[in-house]
Chains A and B, each alone.
Chain A
Amino acid sequence: MTPDLQLQPRAKGLTRRQRRRLSQGAQYAVFLAAVIAFAVTADWGRLKNQFAQWSIAKQMFPDVITLALKNTVLYTLSGFVFGLVLGMVVALMRLSSVGPYRWLAGIYIEIFRGLPALLIFIFVGVAVPLAFPGTEIVGGTYGKVALALGLVSAAYMAETIRAGIQAVPKGQLEAARSLGFSQARAMLSIIIPQAFRIILPPLTNELVLLFKDSSLVLFLGVTLEERELSKYGRDLASTTANSTPILVAGLCYLLVTIPLSFVVRRMETKTGEAIR
């Protein structure tokens, strides 16, 4: 046991470089073995029958795009816009100097972040018509989805917006006030535009989440014309007794979410460069 043991070549005469190569080779081998095992054991024939029937996939077009994807996008955007407006209000309440506003905003955020989106959809579908009998939510199903998705996303966006506003250096508000801007005008013209540049990536992430959550609309009960991707895929899957529509619907989601994620990554590198 000499003290400089670490510097000596190890037993079996392997150098450090050889050992590194061996370890790396082992990792590739494990990966390859897993892929092969999966490929050999899975029953590809049955999978193909159940999920990749070209004839069934073909009859989904163009409805899957012109109806289902269109509705998914509409639901998502209406929920996002409503959530953004509400989230903005909640964020400003959270930053208010009036105590009750802050508490109310805090309670709202805690409740709606803590509940599953599914429960909110059921709540909007059942409780709102019960509580206000005779009133219809504006826009029918579209209005209900906007409300449910908006209520959920507003809680998340409020926290994001608040963080964005607080990330704008204090000197910006001071500079604006010293030029004669009122507090409200300084917020509107100087602080919020800068906050939105900071939070654009997390907001786009929220859009991706909403896009997926829009599938919960099926718990509201929708007409044929109001079906979105998940509901449409599921319905067709049961009428054709085949799961191909599910796969196609899934691909349609990815068609939108993957480019969006790409955009977010691009924005993140860009803001990273812009911030000094």
Chain B
Amino acid sequence: MSTSSTPPEIQVRDLHKSFGTNEVLRGIDLEIGQGEVVCVIGPSGSGKSTLLRCVNLLEEPTKGRVFVGGTEITDPDVDIDAVRRRIGMVFQQFNLFPHLSVTENLTLPQRRVLRRDKAEAAKVAVENLRRVGLSEKATAYPASLSGGQQQRVAIARALAMDPEVMLFDEPTSALDPELVGDVLAVMRMLANEGMTMMVVTHEMTFAREVADRVVFMDGGVIVEDGTPDRVITNPQHDRTRHFLSRLLDPAMAEVDDEGSAP
């Protein structure tokens, strides 16, 4: 489905994931090309976050294979730490290290994981804080920042590792509404710079304007996969339409009768 001619950056084949008897992913096939921005949407419990977490092996797939940059990360012998260095991840809850200052949040992983020297790590940190517009917060601690600022630092922390792919797990869901815009602006900038991005989100405006492709998931399978125009503006499936109408106008939702749910 990718329009680029280079091999796909992310490739997911027949991915299954169960938690106990609960089958969360029931056979996912997905390809994301280099420089592509793919938004994954869907109702809660549809498995979209689990899919994202399988792409850097925070969740171990039950069955199936995942390739990132040509390396099979589901190979039991893979150096997973080496693979993860190439994949940046941004969490819903930011997960900044609270005992470290903003700058240390950016420099410690570079120094411990990439073995960069002090000066270089500091230089990269300054550069990335500037990119997310938070240079003046370099010495602050995470607790003193707003949610939006924390999330932008988290993005800068991931970028400081020079990743080839960025994964975003509902990056704006824990934010106050007025802080969402700053984070989305940073993500939009990354997309324009050509970063390969996989974004689990409920921000339809962002998906429509920034994504190259939108994937709609429900019940552990991909229901629809296509351009934002096709999936969001002109969905082919009832389940997609139902989800979008609820999302775009939550006040209009009706109480479902038993069994009439999509």
Contact residues of A with B, CB < 8 Å? 169, 171-172, 174-182, 185, 189-190, 193-194, 197, 274, 276
A171 in contact with B91 (CB, 8 Å): yes
A167 to chain B, nearest CB (A): 12
CA gap between A189 and B109 in the complex, in Å: 9
Separation in Å of the B107 CB from the closest CB of chain A?
A: 12
Number of B interface residues at 8 Å Cβ cutoff, please give it: 26
Q: For A193, what are the chain B residues with a Cβ–Cβ distance below 8 Å?
A: 99
For the complex, give the distance between the alpha carbons of A181 and B91 in Å: 16
Q: Are A181 and B58 in contact (CB under 8 A)?
A: no
A271 CB to nearest chain B CB (Å)? 12
A178 interface neighbour in B87, B97, B98, B114, Cβ under 8 Å: B87
Chain A CB within 8 A of B157 CB? yes
Given the complex, which residues of B lie within 8 Å of A274, measured CB to CB? 143
Say whether B249 faces chain A, with CB atoms less than 8 Å apart.
no
Distance A181 CA – B56 CA, assembled complex (angstroms): 13
* A185-B112, A189-B112, A274-B143 known; A177-B95 Cβ under 8 A: no
- A193 closest partner in B (C-beta): B99
Contact B93 A178 (CB under 8 A): no
Residues of A within 8 A of B112 (CB): 181, 185, 189
Q: Are B95 and A174 in contact (CB under 8 A)?
A: yes
Is B97 in contact with A181, judged by CB distance below 8 angstroms? no
| Contact call B95/A175, Cβ cutoff below 8 A | yes
Chain B interface (Cβ < 8 Å from any Cβ of A): 56, 58, 81-82, 84-85, 87-89, 91, 93, 95-99, 108-109, 112-114, 143, 154, 157-158, 161
Given contacts A175-B154, A178-B87, A179-B157, 10 further A-B contacts (CB under 8 A): A172-B95, A175-B96, A176-B97, A179-B84, A179-B109, A179-B158, A180-B85, A180-B114, A185-B112, A197-B99
What are 27 pairs between A and B in contact, CB < 8 Å?
A169-B93, A169-B95, A171-B93, A171-B95, A172-B95, A174-B58, A174-B91, A174-B95, A175-B91, A175-B97, A176-B97, A176-B109, A177-B84, A178-B56, A178-B58, A178-B158, A179-B89, A179-B157, A180-B85, A180-B161, A181-B81, A181-B112, A181-B113, A189-B108, A189-B112, A194-B98, A194-B99
9 A-B pairs with least C-beta separation = A175-B95, A180-B85, A178-B89, A171-B95, A180-B113, A179-B109, A180-B84, A180-B81, A182-B81
Q: How far is the CB of B142 from chain A (nearest CB, A)?
A: 10
Q: What are the residues of chain A within 8 A of B88 when measuring CB–CB?
A: 178
Known contacts A175-B91, A179-B109, A180-B81: A190-B97 contact under CB 8 Å: yes
Q: How far is the CA of A171 from the CA of B53 in the complex (A)?
A: 12
A190 CB to nearest chain B CB (Å): 6
Chain B nearest CB from A196 CB (Å) reads: 9
B residues less than 8 Å from A175 (CB atoms): 89, 91, 95-97, 154
Q: Which residues in B have their C-beta under 8 angstroms from that of A172?
A: 95, 97
- Closest B residue to A171 by beta carbon equals B95
Q: Closest Cβ of chain A: how far from B120's Cβ, in Å?
A: 17
* B84/A276 in contact, CB under 8 A: no
Chain A residues with CB below 8 A from B143, complex form? 274, 276
The contact of A180 among B58, B82, B93, by CB within 8 Å, is B82
- In whole angstroms, what is the CA distance A171 to B157 when docked? 15
B158 CB contacts on chain A under 8 angstroms? 178-179
Which of A171, A178, A185, A190 meets B84, CB within 8 Å?
A178
Q: How far is the CA of A176 from the CA of B113 in the complex (A)?
A: 10
Bound Cα distance A179, B157 (Å)? 9
Give min CB distance, B170 to chain A, whole Å: 13
Give the nearest-CB partner of B96 in chain A: A175
What A residues does B157 contact at CB under 8 A? 179
Q: What residues of A have a CB within 8 angstroms of the CB of B85 in the complex? A: 179-180
- In the complex, what distance in Å separates the CA atom of A172 from the CA atom of B91? 10
Q: Which residues of B contact A194 (CB under 8 A)?
A: 97-99
How far is it, in angstroms, between the C-alpha of A111 and the C-alpha of B143 when the chains are bound? 41
What CA separation (Å) do A209 and B101 show in the bound complex?
34
Compute how far the CA of A180 lies from the CA of B108 in the bound complex, rounded to whole angstroms: 12
CB B6 to nearest CB in A, in angstroms, measures 24
- Asked if B98 and A181 sit within 8 Å, CB to CB, the answer is no
Complex interface: chain A residues within 8 A of B98 (CB): 194
Chain B nearest CB: distance from A179 CB in Å?
Answer: 4
Chain A residues whose CB sits within 8 angstroms of the CB of B56 once the complex forms? 178
Task: State the CA gap A189–B107 with chains docked (Å).
Answer: 12
